[in-house]
Amino acid sequence: MTRIYGLQKMTLLDFPGHVACTVFLGGCDMRCPFCHNSELVDGSAPPVMTEAELTDFLKKRQGLLEGVAVTGGEPLLREENLELLRAIRGLGYPVKLDTNGTHPDRLRRALGEGLAQYVAMDIKNSPDRYAGTAGLPRFDLAPVRESVEILMAGETEYEFRTTVVRELHDDESFRAIGDWIHGAKRYYLQKFTDRETVPFEGFHTPAEEDLARWAEILRPHVGEVSVRG
C-alpha cells in the first residue's frame, strides 16, 4: 500500500491545462544536491495520509478537480505505486506523472495501461555530467535513455525538463542535451530557486541572459522550448 507524503489540494501549474491536485510520494534513486523535495528522497519523512485517505479525498473532489499530478521522490520507484495510479484512474481522473526516467519498464507499463495522460521527465544534464548532477558517484544512463525513447516514440503527451543551476550547467550542457533529445515535442528550462529543503548550499539561479541563450541552443532540436520560473 502506497503511503502519501504530501498533498497539494489544488494547483493550476502542475498539470498543464487542468485544475489538479498534486500527490507527493516518498523515495528516490537519485540524490540531486539541489533537490527541492529532499525530505522525500529517502522516505524518512512521516507520511501525511494513506492511499485509502487519498482516494476518499479524490472521491469528494470529483467534478471539482480535473486531474491528479503524481510526483515525488520518484513515483516509479516502487511497483506498488502503479496500483495507486490504477486507483486514481479508476476514479476517472487523468494523471500527470513526474519521473526521472530510471525505471523504463514501469514507465512502459504505465503508458501501456493508460495510467498516465501526461509525463514530465527530468533531463538532469548532458550525459557526461549526469552522475555528478544526480549526486551519485556512478550512474548508468541506459535506463534514462530508454525512457526518453519510450516517450518520443509513443503517443502519450510529454515534456522533458531540466532544473537549471548556475554551478552545474553551461552552453555545452545544452548542446549535448539538444543532440540527445533531437525531435522531442517540448522542453522546459526550470530555474533553480534556493529554499530550506535544498540539501546543499552554494547553488544559484542562472542569469536571465544565460537562460535565454540556452533556450536558443535547444530550439533547433525541439518543437517547443520555454523557460519556467
Beta bridge partners of 95: 68
Mention every residue, 6+ apart, whose C-beta is less than 8 A from residue 53. Answer: 4
Query: pLDDT tens digit string along 217-227?
Result: 999 999 999 99
Domains in the chain with CATH codes: 3-228 (3.20.20.70)
Whether the predicted pLDDT of 135 surpasses 70: yes
Whether the predicted pLDDT of 29 surpasses 70: yes
Whether the predicted pLDDT of 65 surpasses 80: yes
How far apart, in Å, are the Cα atoms of 167 and each of 1, 17, 209?
39, 33, 15
The span from the CA of 25 to the CA of 72, in Å, is 5
**Is 64 in contact with 9 (CB distance < 8 Å)?**
no
pLDDT the model gives residue 210: 98
Query: pLDDT tens digit string along 186-218?
Result: 999 999 987 777 777 889 999 999 999 999 999
- In the chain, % helix, strand, coil (3-state, to 5) comes to 30, 25, 45
Query: pLDDT tens digit string along 39-61?
Result: 888 767 789 999 999 999 999 99
